[in-house]
Amino acid sequence: MSDAVITDSNSNEVKVRLRHKDWEVEITCKEDKLRRIVEDVISGLDSNSAEDSVSSKNSSELTAQMEELRSKFRSIEALLGSSGTGVERKSAQKIGMTCRTLLDLLLNENYFNQERQLGQIHEEISRRGYNYDRTAVSHSLTDLVRERMLVRVGTIRNYRYIQREFVATE
């Protein structure tokens, strides 16, 4: 169902209101572009409806996946809030950890209480059984610097990272 109204005879602008299932769209455009725009909108609504029907079929599967992710997230939170014993670290390895989460763990363990180079940090993460690209580690370290959790000292390609509270003031 649709309504069409010409808003101004001098400007050739047309205002169209389309209703399709649960959607209602109002379009204001030049008369000569109306057909293409309406076709684009209708095809977009139809494809969105198709996606909705597919997603409703998979909603129980998605709900199960979301609950699994919530469980993993709770495990990681528990790990970061704990004392960091070896047994807990092993269970965290089973669920997988992001590069950023690993750096947060190193921060909590005061690994950055002295200056560390990218290579040293990358080696420590590898030693713990995680194989992240040096670029990923570098980007996560940059995020920590931006968030003011770490300080970066040195020059480009030779940065060293240290926790903010351990920076020596001169």
What is the assigned CATH class of domain 97-170?
mainly alpha
Give backbone dihedrals phi and psi of 31, rounded to 5 degrees, phi first. -60, -40
**In which band, very low, low, confident or very high, does the pLDDT at 64 lie, cut at 50, 70 and 90?**
low
Angle at 86 between CA 85 and CA 87, to 5 degrees: 95
pLDDT, tens digit, 9 for 90 and up, residues 97-154: 899 999 999 999 999 999 999 999 999 999 998 999 999 999 999 999 999 999 999 9
Closest CA relative to residue 23, chosen from 45, 3, 43, 56:
45
Query: Is residue 55 over pLDDT 90?
Result: no
Sequence spans of domains, the chain: 2-57, 58-96, 97-170
Choose from 5-9, 25-29, 61-65 the range with maximum mean pLDDT: 25-29
Identify the residue with better confidence: 31 or 45. 31
Closest CA relative to residue 73, chosen from 107, 108, 104, 101:
101
Query: Is residue 37 over pLDDT 70?
Result: yes
The predicted pLDDT at position 94 comes to 44
The predicted pLDDT at position 36 comes to 77
pLDDT, tens digit, 9 for 90 and up, residues 69-96: 666 666 665 665 654 444 444 444 445 6
Q: For 21, which DSSP code?
A: T
The predicted pLDDT at position 169 comes to 55
Distance separating alpha carbons of residues 75 and 94, to the nearest angstrom = 10
Query: Is residue 39 over pLDDT 60?
Result: yes
